[in-house]
Structure 1
Amino acid sequence: MGNASSMLTQYDIEEVQQHCNHAFSQQEIVSLYERFCQLDRNNGGFISAEEFLSVPEFAVNPLSQRLLRMVDGLNFKEFVAFLSAFSPHATLHQKIEFIFKVYDSDGNGKVTFTDMLDVLRDLTGTFISEKQREAIQRTL
């Protein structure tokens, strides 16, 4: 299953479904596998940060650098688990857990004030001035 050139078996599909808490149907998993194979250009069974950045929507996302530390080196099963937070079938808890990981930039299990400011900086970029950012910081 890890090799992009292999085909998914029914067992593989069911295993991936179980791993992602049935957030995706079997057909969706097959479609995700096809996309995974397209992204895995070197057929290594893993998707690198560079390969993720080849997706235009990912590359322009203001949080892409934060997401990259979560996705670099994912195999197919991990890829589907990562994407499961975006599924309409994901629970609120799964979605909140995902967002928490995005905000917890140092991975210490806490979202600190510094983490919040870093996310604010990532999201606003050059669209607001440093003075406006300082005002938001004081508000927080």
Structure 2
Amino acid sequence: MGNSSSVLTQYDIEEVQEHCQRLFSQQEIVSLYQRFCQLDRNAKGFISADEFLSVPEFAMNLLSQRLLKMVDGLNFKDFVTFLSAFTAKASVQ
């Protein structure tokens, strides 16, 4: 599930949904996986700090250096969990 040549199965999608407390729909998980694969340029199965910095909005964020410490080396499940904190469906905690 971690590299760009793989395809998400229904089981993978449901597993990721459970991992992020179902804050994303199945279609959103598929879209996030496509974006993850774009960022994971070397198909390592995780995204490095440098790859995160390739996103202009992230690189320009004043908190990016702090966030980089949290996101360096995230695999897909952890990537989705990280992003779930920013969805309107997430609780304040």
TM-score, length basis structure 2: 0.98
Q: Aligned pair 1:21/2:9, yes or no?
A: no
Q: Where do 5+ consecutive residues of structure 1 fail to align?
A: 94-140
In the alignment, which residue of structure 2 is the partner of 1:87?
A: 87
In the alignment, which residue of structure 1 is the partner of 2:36?
A: 36
In the alignment, which residue of structure 2 is the partner of 1:134?
A: none
Based on CA coordinates, which of the two structures has the bigger radius of gyration?
1
Structure possessing the higher relative contact order (Cα contacts under 8 Å, 6 or more residues apart): 2
Runs of 4+ in 1 over 3 A off after TM superposition: none
CA drift at 1:31? 0.2
Q: More helix per residue: 1 or 2? A: 1
Residues in 2 aligned to 1:71 and 1:41: alpha-carbon distance in whole angstroms: 16
Amino acid at match of 1:43: A
Q: Percent sequence identity over matched residues?
A: 77
CA drift at 1:76? 0.3
Two-structure CA RMSD over aligned residues (Å): 0.6
TM-score, length basis structure 1: 0.65
Q: Where do 5+ consecutive residues of structure 2 fail to align?
A: none
Residues in 2 aligned to 1:82 and 1:20: alpha-carbon distance in whole angstroms: 9
In the alignment, which residue of structure 2 is the partner of 1:4?
A: 4
